[in-house]
Amino acid sequence: MSTYSRIIAGCMSWGHWGKEFSTEEMIAQLHLTLEAGITTFDHADIYGDYTTEARFGKAFAQSGVERESIQLISKCGIQYVGNSRENRIKHYDYSKEYIVWSVEKSLSDLQTDYLDLLLLHRPSPLMQPDEISAAVHQLKDDGKILDFGVSNFTPSQTDLINSQTKIAANQIEFSLTQHSAMHNGSLDHMTVNGITPMCWSPLGSVFREQNEASQRIKDTLKELSEKYNASDDQLLLAWILRHPSGIHPVIGTTNKKRIENAVKSTEIQLELEDWFALLVASQGHKVP
Contacts 24+ apart (CB under 8 A), 13-20: 13/252, 13/254, 14/52, 14/55, 14/56, 14/254, 15/47, 15/48, 15/51, 15/52, 15/55, 15/56, 16/47, 16/48, 16/49, 16/51, 16/52, 16/55, 17/47, 17/48, 17/49, 17/52, 18/254, 19/254
Residue 153 placed within a domain = yes
Residue 186 placed within a domain = no
Residue 70 placed within a domain = yes
Q: Domain of 66?
A: 8-173
With beta carbons less than 8 A apart as the criterion, state whether 201 and 236 touch. no
pLDDT reading at 1 higher than 70: no
Segment 46-68 shows an average pLDDT of 98
Residue 184 placed within a domain = no
Band of pLDDT at residue 2, cut at 50, 70 and 90: low
pLDDT reading at 162 higher than 60: yes
For the chain, how many structural domains are there in total? 1
Percent of the chain whose pLDDT exceeds 70: 99
Residue 234 placed within a domain = no
Give the residue among 73, 245, 71, 49 at the shortest CA–CA distance from 151.
73
What value does the mean pLDDT of the chain take? 97
Q: State the pTM of this model.
A: 0.97
d(Cα 49, Cα 16) in Å, to the nearest integer? Answer: 8
Band of pLDDT at residue 171, cut at 50, 70 and 90: very high
**What is the reported pLDDT for 96?**
98
CATH number, position 19: 3.20.20.100
**What is the reported pLDDT for 224?**
98
d(Cα 217, Cα 232) in Å, to the nearest integer? Answer: 10
- Paired sense of beta strands 248-251 and 40-42, if any: unpaired
By annotation, the residues acting in catalysis are 47
Residue 31 placed within a domain = yes
Q: What residues pair up with 169 in beta bridges, in sequence order? A: 196
- pLDDT tens for 194-206 read 999 999 999 999 9
- pLDDT tens for 173-191 read 999 999 999 999 999 999 9
Q: Give me Rg for the CA atoms of the chain.
A: 19
Residue 110's Cβ-count burial label (10 Å; 0-12, 13-18, 19+) is buried
- pLDDT tens for 6-37 read 999 999 999 999 999 999 999 999 999 999 99
Residue 46 placed within a domain = yes
Residue 114 placed within a domain = yes
